[in-house]
Structure 1
Amino acid sequence: MNKIFIIIQREYLSRVKKKSFLILTFLTPLLIAGIYAFMIWMMLKDDTEQRTIAVINESQLSEPVKSTEYTSFNYLENANFEDVKSQMEDKGYYAILVIPNDILEKQTAELFSYKQVTIEVKSEVGSQIRQHIEKIKRSKIIAEANMPDLEQKLAATKTPISMKTIKFGEGGEVKQSSTEIAMGIGFVASFIIYMFIFLYGVQVMRGVIEEKSNRIVEVIISSVKPFQLMMGKIVGVAMVGLTQFIMWVILSGVIITIGTAVILPGIDVDTLQQAQSITELPEGAANMNVEQFKMAQEIFGTFDLAYVASILGAFVFFFLGGYLLYSALFAAVGSAVDNETETQQFMMPITIPLILALYIGFAVAKNPESSLAFWGSIIPFTSPIVMLVRIPFGVPIWELLLSMTLLIGTFLFITWVAAKIYRTGILMYGKKVSYKEIWKWLRYHN
């Protein structure tokens, strides 16, 4: 056991002391914060390009579109479409808006342009025409009904419904929950595991290939058993990845918090709400962000410490368990080949279960109690991802314990298999290995 700890220490220190590790550790949070700031900037950025649109109004509507700060509408009386089209460049028209005489029946207008019209312009024109037509129709209905207050009465019938989900606790107590938050937690956690497995699992494989190609392992293996070497290497790299991940979370949180404290106070709330949608929001949507924020506060406020601890505990376990299992598989591949170009034929059987687990996760979010959800969260090769999607919805304790036990047992078994491949593979140079050859190695006796 002491030898395993020595190997873990060696693998950990040799990697965290590298300049590339330090640079990536501190650069990634800055990149995340930069993306976060860019998204806010893009959301608040206004389209300030001046445009002039020629309007051929064949309908009976009186100026259904009005000029705005950056978009001007030039109404042309008795204009011929072909003449206007031929003069677009000379007149500096961005587009030609044709409002047909049957606009009230067909409810379709046409916007002609040599360039692809932006979604902002299309939305703005469509929104103005729709509002104009709706106003005319409402006025006509009110006049025919001879009820001056009809519009107010119709507006009073609009009833927004807010659905709350309530969970019963084991003791019969009730607490508010959120299906959307549960899905979000599951998908974010599973995607992090997916990326982590590939990022650091490949490092294990490359480390094994490097030691094998440099003949370093021939010296190491004389004093350490293959299983000890495999276990130390896998756990050592896992600790490196976990260290880097924790640093990313802490540094990203600090940078984003500081940036938010500096930027958000200077942002006008009305501007932010308008920037969140390029189309007209339905009536009552102005308070939607505030209501959703209050609901989120209420929901998160109901999360007790036990619930949060169970989510975090399960994440850490399956985060590490999934990595350790697949790192053992990557280590087995690295033990069998001489260089990375030969790893392609062995990578497909490793990547397929991971990709399959992501797709199963989408199905599980729709029906977390299905047979597919159960088996996907029990089978060790898919459970690290699928189980994390299920846990926020609630998983029986016996299923969770069974999944954890199988994951640990499979990891130890795969590590033992990787060690057997490693024991023979380190002495094989210049020979292209096949699955048949690996099967022979596994059948060799000590």
Structure 2
Amino acid sequence: MNWKLLKLKPEEKENLNRSEEVSDIIDRMPTSFGKWVARAVIIFTILLFTFGWLIKYPDVVSGQITINSNTAPIKLPAHTSGKIELLNVTSQDTVKEGDYIAIIQNSAKTEDIRKVATLINEFDPNEYKTFKRACTLFPEKVSLGELNMKYYSFLSSLKSITDYADDNQYEQQQISLLEGIKWREKILDETKNALNISTENLEISRKWLDKYSSLNKELITTYELEIDKSKADYLSAKQNNQNLIKEMASIEMQIAESRNRLSQLSVERREQERKLHLDLFASYHDLSDQLKQWEQTYVLKAPFDGQVEFLKFWANGQFVQAGTDVFCIVPKENVILGQVLLPAVGAGKVKTGSNVSIKLDDYPYSEFGAIKGIVKSISLITNEYEVAQGKINTYLVLVDMPDGLVTNYGDELDFKYEIGGQADIIVKDRRLIERLFDNLKFNTK
């Protein structure tokens, strides 16, 4: 007999009876159903892990993108107010760098301005040999408006230096002085020879005078006459000798004065040439600067090769207000680039070479598809950018498009400057199971 059961309270005996009934029911459960449930749980778990490993989808960092090119189009504004004159150019015409598109009305004659500008560009103020030919090329009668004074000042300087070279006054004076010096040096040599002869004659006269002076005057009846004659010859020879010495000194002084004048002429010549050249340089650069200023003020011209776009419907004689954008020059050949403003949040995952999916606002994604891009560069610092929600910090990301504007649907989109859209930068393909464990790790740590 089980004494433990006899000692149990009535409530405990009732619970025991119930447990036995439950155990009896459990023992009588069908064995095949339990195996089926176990197999289903195992298969579901295996499928979950298998698909969690096989299924991958990328992490994406998104930002706003603008499609542009390496050479941006340039708008040409009017720098002064006045009536516009179109120069046979229509919208979307091809233009070359430097081509005139339109002129704002002014007092100058455009043909004269362009002719003078061409001559000035070809003129070299350092090439002295070309000055004479340049004088014949530059016209004497032109209508340059406010540039007339600058032009005629330059032309006067050019003619002055050309006349100076033709007249050659300083060189002629120098040649004349050199010839005079040579002639005087020749006379000086002859005078020196005459002085030598005169000196010999003086010595002879002095000897005869000494000889007659030493004789006894009582023995010679003509003593007085001979003495006077010898003395007269001696004095005449001495006077002639002194005259030759004075003549030599005078010639040497004339030669010295001529050499001094020659030096002065060299200095005056250099100063005159320097002054003429400085005047030419100053007037040349002044005219050149004024021509550029005139062109900048009144001319609308192409800064590079491309196509001209009219920003309004312009007609000849229409008034243009200063500061108004008149034309836009679109570059002919460009490398298309994407410029992305990437929010700083999550930007650390973006690397150079990451793939980019570009969806443009002008071409709906569902109809045209997306464009493939590759991250080319990422700015090192952020820049504050204002959006509708407020100010955010963004990185500047350049995106290359190796296939151009060809979408994944095979459509080639037309290029337009500053088309906006969304850029989804694919940073990494991650498995579903990795994301599950990332959530578990985030929740547990």
TM range (shorter): under 0.3
TM-score (norm 2): 0.18
Bigger relative contact order (CA 8 A; separation at least 6): 2
TM-score (norm 1): 0.18
Structure with the higher fraction of residues in strand conformation: 2
Structure with the higher fraction of residues in helix conformation: 1
